[in-house]
Amino acid sequence: MATTITVDKKTKERLEDYKLGNWTYDEVLQMLMDKVSLEDITAEHLKEHYRRLEDFKGVSKEEFKKKLQKRLNQKS
């Protein structure tokens, strides 16, 4: 069953460079995904997550509640 996905114009242009002969976009994406393991992608994602955690500066529970209440009031 076919579906539609949204990609940036530059992404589509890059993807077109991989589309050789009569390959479909699906075939190109399948080939690219076969070349990079899901484990490698997950490892990259986790590295970024832990990097962001190192930079994270938390706030007290009270400060968080104040900020949340302020946001909720702005939406009203």
How far from chain centre, in Å, is Cα 56? 19
Orientation of helix 9-18 relative to helix 25-35, angle to 10°: 80
What is the pLDDT averaged over residues 22-36? Answer: 95
41-75 pLDDT, tens per residue? 999 999 999 998 988 888 899 999 999 999 999 97
Res. 76: pLDDT tops 80 = no
Domain ranges of the chain: 9-75
Across all residues in the chain, what is the average pLDDT? 93
Query: DSSP labels for 34-45?
Result: HHS-HHHHHHHH
Q: Please give the pLDDT value at position 2.
A: 87
Helix (H, G, I), strand (E, B) or coil at 69: helix
Q: In 3D, which of 30, 35, 26, 36 has the Cα closest to residue 4?
A: 26
* pTM, to two decimals: 0.59
Contact yes or no for 15/7 (Cβ under 8 A)? yes
